[in-house]
Structure 1
Amino acid sequence: MHYLRHSTIDMELLATEMAISRATLYRMTGSRDALLGEVFWAIGRIFLAEASQEAAGTGADRVIAVSRLFAEMVSGAQQLKQFVAEEPQTAARVLLTNGTDVHHRAIEAQLEIFEESQVSGDPAEMRQRAFLYVRLMEAVVYSPVLGVPEMDFDLAEPALRALLPG
């Protein structure tokens, strides 16, 4: 709720709101980046669940539909846009690196989407496909973090499809 109200995490203000010390907050969360990662993952997981519920069909078409809906939801997330504009280095660190669990969780979620969509193959190969798929989706949904103009999903769709078996 703090993030949604402020489009950022102010650790001092959050500690005050929670009536705890900053030291206790850091002890509980590990770091601001870790807390932001948890916030972004919670929001991302909600978007993925909604996109998965809305997407129809099976196979590659369903995987692409989930991805398109997710990209639309992220692009409409005003707090995320504001955060990226104000703190691009932090956003890159939290969203795109192994500094938090966001990227790892996204790969696991993509594997779930493959499975739900009945897209399958050798488990090791599917994990690699999921990694590449997530990296390409990150380029689409987080293009401002990467310092490039907004990426059109339609431009990325052929590359995303090429990562799907069959």
Structure 2
Amino acid sequence: MLSHAATNVNLTIEPEVDPVIALARRQFLRESRIDMGDLATAAGIGRATLYRRYGDRDRVLGEVLWAVTHAAWARLWQASSTRGIHRVIAVLDQAMRDTVASPALRALLERDPETALRVLTSQQGVVQHRLVTGLADLIRAERDDDEIPATKLAYAVVRLAESFCYSDVITGAPPDIDTATEIIRKLLT
């Protein structure tokens, strides 16, 4: 059973996704570039309306990447047989492995690495902010020690995960999830 705080993270159900973001997610998962004109047409709205309601392409891409990530975290959380902080670590480990293996994300990183990294790792974007917030909630729910505030710890873990998952784009070194997980384990336990 999830603790009350973990339930508030909304990892027990598949999150509802806005219909326009769902269309964009389908484009993304086909390893296609999200084209705002095509998206507006598919959604049955004008391009100006799309931009007014959803923002620019980076914002839409961020919403798509978050929808994919949140759904994956929910599945991993429900499937995990471990409990406590070890459950958080197990979910993070598998999420990082899935991220590195994602054909759609790999295609984005190869096609447009600067946009991908900006959308995935910027503090101004939706992805990193929601990852940190969600992870902080999980840490609070599963860890008694509050020596380091959960939000700061979550931020450090997310930045660490980003650097190891996207190291091929950032430094040219291959992603190293084993090392990332070991460091995260030491930070969280």
State the distance in 2 between where 1:60 and 1:12 align. Answer: 44
4+ long deviations beyond 3 Å: none
Identity over aligned residues, as a percent? 35
Distance 1:6 1:164, change over 3 A: closer
The yes-or-no answer on 1:68 pairing with 2:93 is yes
Corresponding residue for 2:72? 47
The yes-or-no answer on 1:144 pairing with 2:168 is yes
Contact 1:107/1:127 (8 A) holds in 2: yes
State the distance in 2 between where 1:123 and 1:36 align. Answer: 35
Q: Which amino acid aligns with 1:59?
A: G
Contact 1:84/1:91 (8 A) holds in 2: yes
When the two structures are superposed, what TM-score results if normalisation uses the length of structure 2? 0.78
Structure 2: any 5+ residue segments left out of the alignment? Answer: 1-25
Root mean square deviation of aligned Cα: 1.9
Distance 1:74 1:110, change over 3 A: same
Corresponding residue for 1:153? 177
Q: Which amino acid aligns with 1:154?
A: D
What SS does the corresponding residue of 2:188 show, helix, strand or coil? Answer: coil
Count of paired positions: 164
Distance 1:54 1:140, change over 3 A: farther
State the distance in 1 between where 2:109 and 2:186 align. Answer: 29
Structure 1: any 5+ residue segments left out of the alignment? Answer: none
Distance 1:144 1:22, change over 3 A: farther
- In the TM superposition, residue 92 of structure 1 has moved relative to its aligned partner by 1.0
For residues 1-166 of structure 1, what are the structure 2 equivalents within 5 Å?
Answer: 1-116=26-141, 118-122=142-146, 125-165=149-189
The superposition leaves residues 97-154 of structure 1 with CA deviations (integer Å, 9 ceiling, x where unpaired) of: 02312111001111233244x2133386221111101111112223334243222211
Q: Which amino acid aligns with 1:65?
A: A
Farther-moved stretch of structure 1 (75-84 vs 5-14): 5-14
